[in-house]
C-alpha cells in the first residue's frame, strides 16, 4: 500500500519525484504529494486524486529543490483529502515526512503528544510519527545535541520509531539540515538507488529504472542516512549491517504500456512469454523431472517431507488451491492451503516434516510475511514462490522459486497467477518424480508443459468472442462462476477478477455445490459462467449446467475447441485449446481475465486502478 519516492543530489528533485509517483500509482491513488527542500525552506504540494492532479497543481504553483520526498496514498486512517495527504509536518515545520504502513498505537501516542502541546491537523496516524520525531529532536537539543547535525536527526528518528507499534516505511527530511534524507523501515519495503553524487529512494524498484543500475534493499530496523555525497546504512541497535548492492534487473520496457491501452491487458497478453520464463532452465529431460536452483534443500531433505502447507492471500491463494490438487495427484503428499491472514494467528498442529510454501507476487504481503515468520520461528523449512527479486519474503525464506514474470502493474493479478500455477506444476513434477511418478509420466508432463506457451497464444485468440459476451452481459449485477476439480479454483479466481475491476457482485463455487444453496440465486438476470472443458466428470458438469438452464438462468460456457454438445445447451460459448486436466487452469483462466477486463471497460471502470484496492497489501 502507498508509494514513497525520495531524491538527494545536484538535480532538481521534482522531475524524479513526479515520474516515480506515476510509476508507483498502482500502490495507492487516493491522493499524492511532494515536499522539496531549497536551502532552509521546505515547500509542500499535495492533492486528493490521481498523481496527474498533483502534477497539474505543481504546474500552477511550481516548487524547487535538489532534495525531496513524495508519496502516493492508499488511505488507512482518515479519508482521502488534501489535508490527510502526505507529506506531513512535525513540530513547527522542522520535520517533514512520508509514511507507508500502519501505526497501531497512534491513538496513545497522539494523546501523549497533545498533552505536550503538539497540535494535530489531520486524521492520519502518520502525523503522530511526524510530531514524535520533532519531539525527540527537541529532547535531544535540550540535552545539548546540535539540531544542525545529521547525527542528531538520525537519533531522533530512531528514538521515535522505537516507540511505534505497527509497520512503517519512513522518509524524513529536516528543515534545518538541508540535503539530508533519512529512511527507515519495519514491515514496509524501501529500496535505495545508488548514483554518482546522487541517491534515489523508492518503495519498490520501478521508479529507479533509468536512473540507476545498482540498488540496496533495506531490511527491517535498518536506517539509511542519505546525502548527495554519502550513503550510510545502520541498524537501530547501533550496529553497521553489511552493504549488499544488487543489480537492478528491470528495464523501461517492463513498465511501458507499449501498444496496449491498459497494463492489465498488456499483462494478460504477456502470459505466453511469462509462462515460458517460468519454465526456462527448469525442465530436465534426462531425469524426466523439474529442477530449481534456489530451494536450498538437498534431495534427502525434500524426500523426508510428508506434509506441505501452502499459505497466501487473494489470487495467490487461488493458485495455491490449484497447487494442492497438483501436488496431491502427482506426488501423493498431503497439502493444506491456508489463508495467511488466518495462519499467522492460529496454532495448527504441524509435524516436524512439514514444509511451508509462501506464495506471493510482491514478496511484501504483510499477512503472508507474518505467517512465514511464525512458521520459521517454529522450525519448519519455509520456502517462497515469489515474483519480486529482493523482496522481504524472498530474502527471509530459507529458499524459493522466482516466477520471472516481470513487474505486474495492474492491480488485478493476471500473469502472476498463471506463473504461480506453472511453478506449482513444476514443483508437483519434482516431488512426484522423487516418489511415485514414473519416468515416462514425467517425460509426458515435460512435453506438455513445453507446449503451454503456444496453447496460451491460442487461448488469447478468444478475445473477440469475449468482447461479444461482455457486451451482452455487462449490465448484470450478479454473476456465478462454477467449476469442478482443477477448475474450481479457476471459478474462484474468475469471480475475484470480475468483482475487483467491474464492481459486480460475483461468487465462485464448485459446480456440484450449486444445489446446496447458490442455485437460489439463479434467475434470468444472473449469468452463470461454467468452466467446463472436457474432463473425467464432464457429464456431471453438464448436468449442473442443465439445472441452471431449467431455471432460465443465462449460461456462459468456457469449453474445449470442437465441443459441439455444450454449444447446444449454453447461451454463449468461449472456446479454449484442449489440454490435459491438470493444465486446464492455465488456459481456462485466460478468457475469464479477458471477460472481467472487457466488462469493466464497458462499465467505464478504471481497470488498472480499481477503487479501494492497491497492488501490494503491506498493512493488515
Smallest CA-to-CA distance from 424 within 616, 594, 585 is with: 585
Contacting residues for 183 by C-beta, under 8 A, at least 6 apart = 6, 169, 170, 171, 172, 190, 192, 201, 218, 223, 224, 226
Q: What angle do CA 151, 156, 157 make, to 5 degrees?
A: 100
Terminal alpha carbon distance of the chain:
10
Pull the grid cell for residue 143.
540535552
Residue 399's CB is within 10 A of a number of other CB atoms, namely 15
| Cis peptide bond N-terminal to 515, omega within 30 | no
CA distance 90 to 94: 6
- Residues 53-84 as b/e (b if ≥16 CB within 10 A, e otherwise) read ebbebbeeeebebbbbbbbbbbbbbbeebeeb
CA distance 563 to 568: 10
318 touches 481 (CB < 8 A): no
CA distance 341 to 321: 16
CA distance 276 to 162: 46
Question: What's the sign of the alpha-carbon dihedral 430, 432, 438, 443?
Answer: negative
Contacting residues for 558 by C-beta, under 8 A, at least 6 apart = 529, 530, 531, 532, 533, 573, 574, 576, 588, 591, 592
Q: Which of 46, 415, 455, 615 is catalytic?
A: 615
Residue 293's Cβ-count burial label (10 Å; 0-12, 13-18, 19+) is exposed
CA distance 307 to 301: 13
Torsion of CA 396, 243, 220, 380, to 10 degrees: 20
CA distance 391 to 382: 15
CA distance 184 to 206: 19
3-state secondary structure of 506: strand
Helix axes 126-142, 106-115, angle to 10 degrees: 50
- Between the CA of residue 590 and those of 65, 374, 463, 529, 575, what are the distances in Å? 47, 35, 9, 13, 11
Q: Which of 2, 386, 535, 560 is catalytic?
A: 2
CA distance 294 to 317: 22
Specify whether the backbone of 170 is left (phi greater than 0), alpha (psi in -120 to 50) or beta.
beta
Residue 2 falls in the annotated catalytic set: yes
Pull the grid cell for residue 150.
545529521
Torsion of CA 153, 159, 162, 167, to 10 degrees: -20
Residue 386 falls in the annotated catalytic set: no
Residues carrying an active site annotation: 2, 615
Amino acid at each position: 500500500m502507498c508509494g514513497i519516492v525520495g531524491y538527494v543530489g545536484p538535480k532538481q528533485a521534482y522531475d524524479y519525484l513526479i515520474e516515480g509517483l506515476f510509476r508507483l500509482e498502482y500502490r495507492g491513488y487516493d491522493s499524492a504529494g511532494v515536499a522539496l527542500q531549497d536551502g532552509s525552506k521546505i515547500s509542500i504540494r499535495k492533492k486528493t486524486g490521481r498523481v496527474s492532479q498533483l502534477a497539474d497543481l505543481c504546474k500552477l504553483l511550481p516548487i524547487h529543490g535538489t532534495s525531496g520526498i513524495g508519496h502516493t496514498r492508499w488511505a488507512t486512517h482518515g479519508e482521502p483529502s488534501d489535508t490527510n495527504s502526505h507529506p506531513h509536518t512535525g513540530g513547527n515545520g522542522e520535520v517533514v515526512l512520508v509514511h507507508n504502513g500502519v501505526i497501531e498505537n497512534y491513538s496513545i501516542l497522539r494523546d501523549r503528544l497533545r498533552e505536550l502541546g503538539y497540535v494535530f491537523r489531520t486524521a492520519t496516524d502518520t502525523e503522530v510519527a511526524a510530531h514524535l520525531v520533532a519531539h525527540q529532536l527537541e529532547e535531544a537539543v535540550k540535552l545539548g545535541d546540535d539540531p544542525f547535525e545529521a547525527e542528531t536527526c538520525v537519533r531522533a528518528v530512531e528514538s521515535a520509531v522505537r516507540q511505534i507499534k505497527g509497520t512503517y516505511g519512513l522518509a524524513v527530511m529536516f528543515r534545518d539540515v538541508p540535503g539530508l534524507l533519512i529512511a527507515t523501515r519495519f514491515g514496509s519495503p524501501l529500496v535505495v538507488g545508488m548514483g554518482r553524487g546522487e541517491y534515489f529512494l523508492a518503495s519498490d524498484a520501478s521508479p529507479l529504472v533509468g536512473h540507476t543500475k545498482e540498488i540496496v534493499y533495506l531490511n527491517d530496523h535498518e536506517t539509511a542516512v542519505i546525502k548527495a555525497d554519502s550513503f550510510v546504512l545502520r541498524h537501530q541497535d547501533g550496529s553497521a549491517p553489511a552493504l549488499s548492492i544488487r543489480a537492478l534487473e528491470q528495464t523501461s520496457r517492463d513498465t511501458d504500456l507499449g501498444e496496449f491501452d491498459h497494463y492489465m491487458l498488456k499483462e494478460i497478453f504477456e502470459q505466453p512469454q511469462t509462462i515460458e520464463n517460468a519454465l526456462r532452465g527448469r525442465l530436465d529431460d534426462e531425469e524426466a523431472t523439474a529442477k530449481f536452483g534456489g530451494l536450498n534443500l538437498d534431495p534427502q531433505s525434500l524426500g523426508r517431507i510428508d506434509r506441505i502447507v501452502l499459505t497466501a492471500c487473494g489470487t495467490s491463494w487461488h493458485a495455491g488451491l490449484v497447487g494442492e490438487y497438483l501436488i496431491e495427484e502427482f506426488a501423493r503428499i498431503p497439502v493444506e492451503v491456508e489463508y495467511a491472514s488466518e495462519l499467522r494467528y492460529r496454532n495448527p498442529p504441524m509435524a516436524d516434516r512439514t514444509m511451508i510454501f509462501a506464495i506471493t507476487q510482491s514478496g511484501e504481503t504483510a499477512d503472508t510475511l507474518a505467517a512465514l515468520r511464525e512458521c520459521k520461528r517454529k522450525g519448519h523449512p519455509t520456502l517462497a514462490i515469489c515474483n519480486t527479486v529482493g523482496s522481504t519474503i524472498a530474502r527471509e525464506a530459507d529458499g524459493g522459486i522466482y516466477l520471472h514474470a516481470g513487474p505486474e502493474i495492474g492491480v488485478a493479478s493476471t500473469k502472476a497467477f498463471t506463473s504461480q500455477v506453472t511453478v506449482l506444476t513444476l514443483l508437483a513434477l519434482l516431488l512426484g518424480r522423487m516418489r511415485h511418478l514414473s519416468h515416462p509420466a514425467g517425460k509426458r508432463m515435460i512435453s506438455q508443459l513445453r507446449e503451454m506457451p503456444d496453447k496460451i497464444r491460442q487461448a488469447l485468440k478468444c478475445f473477440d468472442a469475449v468482447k461479444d459476451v461482455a457486451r451482452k452481459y455487462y449490465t448484470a449485477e450478479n454473476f456465478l462462476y462454477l467449476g469442478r476439480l482443477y477448475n474450481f479454483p479457476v471459478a474462484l479466481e474468475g469471480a475475484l477478477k470480475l468483482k475487483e475491476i467491474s464492481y459486480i457482485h460475483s461468487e465462485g463455487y464448485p459446480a456440484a455445490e450449486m444445489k446446496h444453496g447458490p442455485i437460489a440465486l439463479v434467475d434470468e438476470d444472473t449469468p452463470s459462467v461454467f468452466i467446463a472443458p472436457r474432463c473425467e466428470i464432464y457429464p456431471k458438469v453438464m448436468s449442473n449446467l442443465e439445472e441452471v438452464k431449467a431455471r432460465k438462468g443465462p449460461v456462459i460456457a468456457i469449453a474445449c475447441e470442437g465441443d459441439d454438445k455444450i454449444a447446444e445447451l449454453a447461451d454463449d460459448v468461449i472456446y479454449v485449446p484442449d489440454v490435459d486436466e491438470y493444465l486446464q487452469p492455465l488456459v481456462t483462466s485466460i478468457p475469464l481475465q479477458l471477460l472481467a477486463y472487457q466488462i469493466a471497460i464497458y462499465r467505464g471502470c478504471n481497470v488498472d486502478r480499481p477503487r479501494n484496492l492497491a497492488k501490494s497489501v503491506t498493512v493488515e
